[in-house]
């Protein structure tokens, strides 16, 4: 029941009509007559007043009771609806609050997790860095110890090898001197000969020594590859006193490739021309056949001279452009005298090779070191440095081999002791020849 409405008095209406029995109760045409109308009609009778009053009171009370129940039901429903709406609103607000709280907690948890992960990552990096530094330090220390051990072992190995080499050198020297049948103070140019297939090979001894290889800057018309340097040869060697002759070549190879062949008269007189028109590869074939034939003494081998050995033998202790001095015009060696060196006088030009032993030998008994034919050397061609060197053997690789000495076809300038020339190993030319060295096997 609403609080602002006054309390109803259900019996006041009935009592009003009961006091006036003659008053008729109006009828509502559209409304069905109710028991109350019957009671009111009956109330006009004096004898039925008491019964009408009772019936009227019970009907009004019942109606009022039903109205009260209906109002209570309405209020209950309104109250339940209000409670349901309030509960729904509170539920939604609570869910929104919970969702916001969950989101906040999730963000806080994610942030905390991120910071924790970053801290763990940084700690892991630091741990790995320290471990890596420790490993590197240990590895460096291990490598240092290994390197020291290797160096120590290498030094010991080199010492033993050096001792063994010295011992072997002493043994080789003993074989060398036994072959030469000389004392240890043998002189340069000492003569020894071998006979191979009825052809004599005359050798001259070149002792160990030091000399200035190349030409000084003051030497006229020098080449830019004639850098001067001090060279030491620690072993002596035997070198053929002439270029390889056609008799030597033919006796071993069976053919004569030379353009200028020896004549019948020269053959009768024992004269010989140098073998020419041979390549560096041809020379190696010739030398291989000599060595395979066991013509060399035990412990020795035939080979081409190294470039340093060739110039050492050519100079024979001199420092001038030629072993006899500083001029050449075809008088002391077979060259193109139309292009002299050191003077203005032209000389002879034979336009061919000349017989060996025709011109004078140097101080060590070697003939034709200047002119006649270019002589192949064992080295690859390449520029060399100015610092001192012992037993040089030239570059390890290359495209061209060294030739030394000049030839009958060249001007005098190219016949100097320091002149260097080169060509491909397979090339042949009618001014290319060779000279043999007999040395200890390496």
Q: Residue 175 — very low, low, confident or very high, per pLDDT cuts 50/70/90?
A: low
Q: Which of 381, 372, 293, 379 is nearest to 285 (CA)?
A: 293
Q: Residue 27 — very low, low, confident or very high, per pLDDT cuts 50/70/90?
A: very low
4 pLDDT higher than 60: no
pLDDT tens, residue by residue, 105-130: 989 989 998 998 999 999 999 999 99
> What is the predicted pLDDT for the residue at 2?
41
290 pLDDT higher than 50: yes
Asked whether residue 337 is assigned to any structural domain, the reply reads: yes
Average pLDDT along the chain? 85
Q: Residue 166 — very low, low, confident or very high, per pLDDT cuts 50/70/90?
A: confident
Asked whether residue 160 is assigned to any structural domain, the reply reads: no
> What is the predicted pLDDT for the residue at 42?
42
pLDDT tens, residue by residue, 198-228: 999 999 999 999 999 999 999 999 999 999 9
Here the CATH number for the domain that contains residue 270 is: 3.90.1580.10
Q: How many structural domains compose the chain?
A: 1
User: What strand order describes the sheet that includes 401-404?
Assistant: 421-423, 401-404, 374-380, 432-433
Asked whether residue 145 is assigned to any structural domain, the reply reads: no
Distance CA 257, CA 246 (A): 9
> What is the predicted pLDDT for the residue at 174?
65
176 pLDDT higher than 70: no
Asked whether residue 136 is assigned to any structural domain, the reply reads: no
Distance CA 63, CA 66 (A): 5
Asked whether residue 127 is assigned to any structural domain, the reply reads: no
Contact 423, 335 (CB under 8 A): no
Asked whether residue 244 is assigned to any structural domain, the reply reads: yes
Asked whether residue 216 is assigned to any structural domain, the reply reads: yes
* DSSP string of 128-190, one letter each residue: HHHHHHHHHHHHHHHHHHHHHHHHHHHHHHHHHHHHHHHHHHHHHHHHHHHHHT--TTPPTT-
Contact 229, 388 (CB under 8 A): yes
C-alpha separations of 149 from 145, 159, 267, 272 in Å: 6, 15, 67, 61
337 pLDDT higher than 50: yes
Contact 203, 242 (CB under 8 A): no
Poorest-confidence range of 87-91, 371-375, 417-421? 87-91
**Structural domain span for residue 368:** 191-440
pTM score over 0.75 = no
Both tokens assigned to 226: 């004639």
Number of C-alpha atoms within 13 angstroms, CB side, residue 320?
11
User: What strand order describes the sheet that includes 229-233?
Assistant: 209-213, 229-233, 389-390
19 pLDDT higher than 90: no
Asked whether residue 365 is assigned to any structural domain, the reply reads: yes
Q: Residue 442 — very low, low, confident or very high, per pLDDT cuts 50/70/90?
A: confident
Q: Residue 178 — very low, low, confident or very high, per pLDDT cuts 50/70/90?
A: low
274 pLDDT higher than 60: yes
pLDDT tens, residue by residue, 34-79: 444 443 444 444 445 454 555 555 588 898 889 899 999 999 999 9
> What is the predicted pLDDT for the residue at 440?
86
317 pLDDT higher than 90: yes
Distance CA 63, CA 36 (A): 11
326 pLDDT higher than 70: yes
353 pLDDT higher than 80: yes
18 pLDDT higher than 70: no
């Amino acid at each position: 029941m609403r609080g602002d409405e006054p309390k109803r008095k259900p019996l006041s209406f009935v009592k009003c009509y009961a006091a006036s029995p003659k008053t008729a109760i109006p009828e509502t045409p559209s409304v069905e007559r109710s028991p109350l109308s019957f009671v009111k009609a009956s109330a006009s009778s004096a004898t039925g007043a008491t019964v009408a009053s009772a019936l009227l009171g019970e009907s009004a009370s019942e109606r009022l009771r039903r109205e009260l129940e209906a109002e209570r039901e309405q209020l209950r429903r309104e109250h339940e609806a209000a409670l349901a709406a309030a509960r729904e609103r509170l539920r939604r607000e609570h869910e929104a609050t919970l969702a916001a709280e969950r989101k906040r907690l999730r963000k806080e948890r994610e942030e905390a997790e991120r910071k924790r992960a970053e801290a763990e990552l940084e700690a892991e990096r630091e741990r790995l860095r320290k471990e890596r530094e420790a490993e590197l330090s240990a590895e460096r220390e291990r490598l240092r110890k290994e390197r020291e051990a290797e160096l120590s072992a290498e030094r010991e190995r080199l010492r033993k090898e050096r001792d063994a080499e010295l011992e072997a050198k002493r043994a080789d020297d003993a074989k060398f001197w036994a072959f030469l049948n000389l004392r240890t103070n043998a002189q340069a140019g000492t003569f020894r000969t071998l006979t191979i297939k009825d052809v004599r090979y005359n050798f001259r001894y070149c002792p160990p020594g030091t000399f200035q290889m190349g030409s000084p800057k003051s030497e006229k018309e020098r080449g830019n590859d004639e850098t001067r340097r001090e060279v030491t040869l620690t072993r002596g060697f035997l070198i053929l006193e002439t270029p390889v002759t056609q008799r030597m070549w033919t006796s071993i190879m069976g053919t004569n490739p030379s353009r200028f062949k020896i004549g019948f008269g020269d053959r009768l007189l024992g004269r010989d021309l140098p073998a020419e028109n041979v390549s560096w590869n041809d020379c190696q074939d010739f030398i291989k056949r000599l060595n395979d034939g066991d013509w060399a003494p035990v412990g020795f081998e035939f080979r081409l001279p190294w470039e340093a050995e060739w110039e050492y033998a050519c100079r024979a202790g001199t420092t001038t452009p030629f072993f006899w001095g500083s001029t050449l015009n075809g008088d002391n060696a077979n060259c193109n005298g139309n292009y002299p060196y050191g003077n203005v006088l032209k000389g002879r030009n034979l336009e061919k090779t000349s017989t060996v032993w025709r011109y004078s030998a140097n101080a060590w008994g070697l003939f034709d070191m200047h002119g006649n034919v270019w002589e192949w050397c064992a080295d690859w061609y390449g520029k060399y440095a100015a610092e001192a060197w012992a037993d040089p053997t030239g570059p390890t690789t290359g495209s061209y081999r060294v030739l030394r000495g000049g030839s009958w076809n060249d001007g005098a300038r190219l016949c100097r002791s320091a002149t260097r020339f080169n060509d491909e190993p397979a090339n042949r030319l009618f001014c290319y020849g060779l000279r043999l060295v007999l040395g200890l096997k390496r």
